[in-house]
Chains A and B, each alone.
Chain A
Amino acid sequence: MSEDKVSGIYALFVGLLYMVAAVGEIAGFLQRDLIGGVMLMVISVVYIYGAKRFLQKKDFAFIVGGVFLSVIYGLLYLSIAFANYLEYLMGVKDFLLLRELRIEIWLMLVSSPLIYKVWKDIRKLKW
């Protein structure tokens, strides 16, 4: 299998994972967060659409879009976890590491091969 094909299929896989997580958050299997779940759904659709476009037309754009959102949400919840830790240190909140490492952070890790690939391809481009 060519490298491109692998990337495309992997993006599809990541997209489906996001969908599972989205359903999980909306239905409350994971942390219950209705709007957060809807946002995961958006990321999922962007990835799946990106995978389709990439496999069919070699159009990379929406995988870039998916990666972009993955990173934003991953960093967002990392920074929130950090903030909650500070609150814990101040003694105003309890802190459970596993609860703080939300699914969005794990999903960013899962997408890291794509993040790497996008970063490598984009670095060469001019703004």
Chain B
Amino acid sequence: MKVVAIVGNPNVGKTELFNRLTGLNQHVGNWPGVTVEKKEGKYSYGGEEINVIDLPGIYGFTTRSIDEKIAKNFIVKNRPDVVVDVIDSTNLERNLYLALLLIESGANVVIALNMWDIAKERGMEIDVRRFEGLLGVPVVPTVATTGEGIEELKKAIFRALKGKKKGKKIKIDYGHEVEEKIKHIEKILERCRKDGYPSPRWVALRILEEDEDILSEFRKGNYWKDIEKLLDERIAGKIVEKRYELCSKLAAEIIKEKKEVKTLTDILDEIFLHKVLGIPIFMAILYAMFQFTFSFSAPFSDGISLFFSWLGNIAKSNISNEVLASFVADGICAGLGSVLVFVPPIFCLFFALSILEDSGYLARVAFVMEKILSKFGLHGKSFIPILVGFGCNVPGIMAARTIENESDRIITIMINPLISCSARLPVYALIAGAVFHGYTAGAAIYSMYVLGITLAVLMALLLRKLLFKGEVSPFILELPRYTKPKLSTSIIHMWNRGKWFLIKAGTFIFIVVIIIWFLSVFPWEATNGGKIIENSYIAMFGRIVEPVFKPLGWSWQAGTALFFGFLAKESIVGAIGALLGAEGEGVYNALANSNWFTPLTGFAYMAFVLIYFPCVATLSVMLREMKLKYTLLTVAYTVLLAFAVAFMIEFIGHLFGLS
């Protein structure tokens, strides 16, 4: 099967284009570094089955971070049959740099001139035919978001696969001095034959540019001494400079017209990037987001809750077999119902997050937070993993791949479990809703998010002081353009992420709920059909763990529920629901009437759930992204910190006379 790779600078619309070509739904967002691993898809055209690979964004072949290396290695080592270079039309000059590198590497390049709509809107005029003529590769204008130009692109890819040429490919003349050196190295290479690389000229250039990946392969060889003599930083600089020169020359010829206007982006950046007000404004936006999530979703949750109570009551009165009736009412309706009640807030949260992402604001937040973060030993780019972590810690941790420096990256990963993911929202919503009233409940939930960020930042400081000494490395983050978020795309994004909650609820949370039901009603005689939970199997387990949570004032049921949160934090509400057996009144009321929690112990419980243990999915991605010892350390510190913070909250609360 033919392989087509999609490459380009970050945030130019590669993934959007990939989704268009393949019909898949990979995550798209308006900030650089969304895609951090390669993704595969397929389409067929002209009777040919074509394999498409979406790659992380790169600026050039000098790569430092993990995501960039993935993209580079795929292009250089796997040598795809066609490379589609996606270019942001409004940023032609800078994007041309990568195009030149790709052509130079001998790749079979097709250029997609994406964001064509915005270029037109801005009154830019780009001469596509001249572009093709100058570079000698096919160029197709596209609008990935609407699908305009996708058919033409497919056609161009097909023709390129069949080996049809578009004139003579551009060849860069680096000037006498550099060309001499290239020839010299090419001669040396003839003797040692490095296979698997594009061309001797390309290898020679990479050597002169001192590309560590290539140099390290030659270091061991016999010809290293000859090569080493030729290395010269000045030459490396010259090569890069020459390419930049060519880029601006080409851009000047291709772009016929360009108007400079003061844009809305300038105004918005003045506000959002303000050095004092930027952060309070961000906090205000965040607060609005969480209030919306919690309060707006309430009636929808009530609806679901009422539905399950109704269903539970019907089951109780219509099923004659007592065990079965209890299974349906107390197990499925109460347990699963109490999880599904949280579909609305989670979808609201994802909706708000996707607006934050698509509007282009997310990258700005990273930018304004940088100053504070670097004081605490956190890298500026760490804030993107933090914000992504609000959705789910797994992609949050993956997003750390864009951080070049290894210790910066590990710190960022180690603190991510403290960021309150959407799976924890149900627990907060349940407990806050049961023990607090009105806007206080919303404020209590908001404070969990703030507590999470604060602890994460403090933890980073501690890790920096103890384990990863040294300075925070500087960072450059390209600011994306602002766009008006579209309702339809936000809804699609919401669904793409939210459906995982439904899938989890339908699979293993369901199983957890059944297990808990079973353990809480059996032995059937002793519990009198689940009425005396104190005699059940789960109560035996509860007794064992009770001493651990007793000092915090939590009932054994609350403590037991925590154990099921290891699998996924949503399971805690399922467990609470099943343990309360709350089929009749809805899980909120049941908990409010249960005296499991006072406002103070409830709040401490929320904080405990925030911190106490990364879920299984988070653990497995941590193991993949960093060494075992760091993962173990993360587990250890989260457990200790959870107890410490919960005790602190209750202690301080008591000082203020709360109970």
A interface list, Cβ under 8 A from B: 31, 33-36, 39, 42-43, 45-46, 49, 59-62, 64-65, 68-69, 72-73, 76, 79-80, 83-84, 86-87, 90, 92, 122, 125-127
Contact = CB atoms under 8 A, between A and B. Distances in A.
Interface in B447-465: 447
Contacts of A49: 277
B246 interface: no
A87 B271 contact: no
Interface stretch (B126-134, B286-294, B381-389, B628-636): B286-294
Nearest to A80: B295
Contacts of B121: 126-127
Nearest to A66: B271
Nearest to B265: A127
Contacts of B280: 42, 45
Given A42-B281, A76-B291, A86-B299, A61 B271 contact: yes
Contacts of B481: 127
B302 A87 contact: yes
B439 interface: yes
Contacts of A64: 267-268, 271
A21 to B, nearest CB: 14
Interface of B: 118, 121-122, 261-265, 267-268, 270-272, 274, 277, 280-281, 283-285, 287-288, 291-292, 295-299, 302-303, 306, 439-440, 443, 446-447, 481-484
B281 A35 contact: no
Given A31-B439, A127-B482, A127-B483, A42 B284 contact: yes
Nearest to B272: A65
18 contacts: A33-B440, A36-B439, A36-B443, A46-B277, A46-B281, A60-B267, A69-B281, A73-B284, A73-B288, A80-B296, A86-B299, A87-B299, A125-B261, A125-B262, A127-B118, A127-B263, A127-B482, A127-B483
A42 B262 CA distance: 27
B264 to A, nearest CB: 5
A46 B484 CA distance: 22
A56 B88 CA distance: 38
**Interface of A (DSSP majority class):** helix
Given A61-B271, A90-B306, A33 B284 contact: no
B295 A126 contact: no
Nearest to B285: A72
B263 A126 contact: yes
A90 B264 CA distance: 43
A42 to B, nearest CB: 4
Contacts of A84: 295, 298-299
